[in-house]
Chain A
Amino acid sequence: MMKNRRSLFERIAGAPYVAWSAMFIIAPLLFVLYFAFTDRNGSFTFENILSLTSYSQTFVMSLAFSLIATTVCLLIGYPLAYCMSKTSERVRGILMVLLMLPMWISLLIRTYSLMALLDNGGLVSTLLVKLGFEKLTFIGTDGAVILGMIYDFLPYMVLPIYTSLTKLDKRYIEASADLGCNPLQTLIKVMLPLTMPGIISGVTMVFVPSISTFYISQKLGGGSFDLIGDTIERQFQNAVTYHTGAAISLVMMILILISLAIMNKFSDNDEEIIV
Chain B
Amino acid sequence: MKFLSRFYIFIIFAILYAPIFVVILFSFNASGDLSSFSGFTLHWYSELFRDGQALIALKNSLIIAVTSSLFATIMGTFAAFSIAHSKNKYYQKTMKAVSNIPMMNPDIVTGVSMMLLFVGVASILGFKNSLGIWTMIIAHTTFNLPYVILSVLPKFKQMDKNLIEAALDLGCTPVQTFFKIEVPCILPGILSGLMMSFTLSLDDFVISHFVSHPDIQTLPLYIYNQTAHNVKFSMYALCTLIIVTIFLLLVAVNLMGSKKKKVPQTKKLTGGVSR
Q: Are the CB atoms of B117 and A17 closer together than 8 Å? A: no
Q: A17-B75, A104-B246, A106-B205 are in contact. Are A116 and B23 (CB under 8 A)?
A: yes
Within 8 A of B (CB), among A6-47: 6, 8-11, 13-18, 20-21, 24-29, 31-32, 34-35
Q: Are the CB atoms of B196 and A275 closer together than 8 Å? A: yes
Q: Are the CB atoms of B22 and A20 closer together than 8 Å? A: no
What distance in Å separates the Cβ of A269 from its nearest Cβ neighbour in chain B?
12
Given the complex, which residues of A lie within 8 Å of B108, measured CB to CB? 212, 214, 229, 232-233, 249
State whether the Cβ of A119 lies closer than 8 Å to any Cβ in chain B. yes
Q: Are the CB atoms of B22 and A108 closer together than 8 Å? A: no
Q: A13-B82, A275-B147 are in contact. Are A34 and B120 (CB under 8 A)?
A: yes
State whether the Cβ of B105 lies closer than 8 Å to any Cβ in chain A. yes
Given the complex, which residues of A lie within 8 Å of B174, measured CB to CB? 2, 5-6, 8-10
Given the complex, which residues of A lie within 8 Å of B199, measured CB to CB? 104
A27–B102 Cα distance when bound, in Å, is 13
Chain A interfacial residues counted at CB < 8 A = 84
A169–B149 Cα distance when bound, in Å, is 30
Q: Are the CB atoms of B19 and A110 closer together than 8 Å? A: yes
Given the complex, which residues of A lie within 8 Å of B150, measured CB to CB? 273, 275
State whether the Cβ of A193 lies closer than 8 Å to any Cβ in chain B. no
Given the complex, which residues of B lie within 8 Å of A208, measured CB to CB? 104, 106
Q: Which of B85, B113, B141, B209 contacts A31 (CB 8 A)?
A: B113
Q: A14-B82, A102-B20, A112-B239 are in contact. Are A24 and B33 (CB under 8 A)?
A: no
Interface of B with A (CB < 8 Å)?
Answer: 2, 5-6, 8-9, 12-13, 15-20, 22-23, 26, 33-36, 75-76, 78-79, 81-83, 85-86, 91, 95, 98-99, 101-110, 112-117, 119-120, 138-139, 141-142, 145, 147, 149-150, 168-169, 172-175, 177-178, 196, 199, 203, 205-206, 209-210, 220, 223-224, 227, 231, 235-236, 239, 242-243, 246-247, 249-251, 254, 258
A126–B125 Cα distance when bound, in Å, is 57
A177–B141 Cα distance when bound, in Å, is 50
State whether the Cβ of A256 lies closer than 8 Å to any Cβ in chain B. yes
A117–B19 Cα distance when bound, in Å, is 6
Q: Output the nearest chain B residue to A112 by Cβ-Cβ distance.
A: B227
Q: Are the CB atoms of B254 and A105 closer together than 8 Å? A: no
Q: A106-B205, A112-B235, A236-B115 are in contact. Are A212 and B227 (CB under 8 A)?
A: no
Q: A13-B82, A79-B8 are in contact. Are A27 and B106 (CB under 8 A)?
A: no
Q: Are the CB atoms of A108 and B220 closer together than 8 Å? A: yes
Q: Are the CB atoms of B243 and A109 closer together than 8 Å? A: yes
Given the complex, which residues of A lie within 8 Å of B102, measured CB to CB? 25
What distance in Å separates the Cβ of B154 from its nearest Cβ neighbour in chain A?
10
Given the complex, which residues of A lie within 8 Å of B139, measured CB to CB? 24
State whether the Cβ of A252 lies closer than 8 Å to any Cβ in chain B. yes
Q: Which 8 A-B pairs have the closest CB atoms?
A: A14-B82, A212-B106, A17-B79, A28-B113, A113-B19, A9-B174, A83-B5, A13-B78
A24–B52 Cα distance when bound, in Å, is 34
A106–B106 Cα distance when bound, in Å, is 16
A219–B193 Cα distance when bound, in Å, is 32
Q: Are the CB atoms of B254 and A93 closer together than 8 Å? A: yes
Q: Are the CB atoms of B105 and A253 closer together than 8 Å? A: yes
Given the complex, which residues of A lie within 8 Å of B173, measured CB to CB? 2, 5
Among A112, A114, A233, the most chain B Cβ lie within 10 Å of the Cβ of: A112
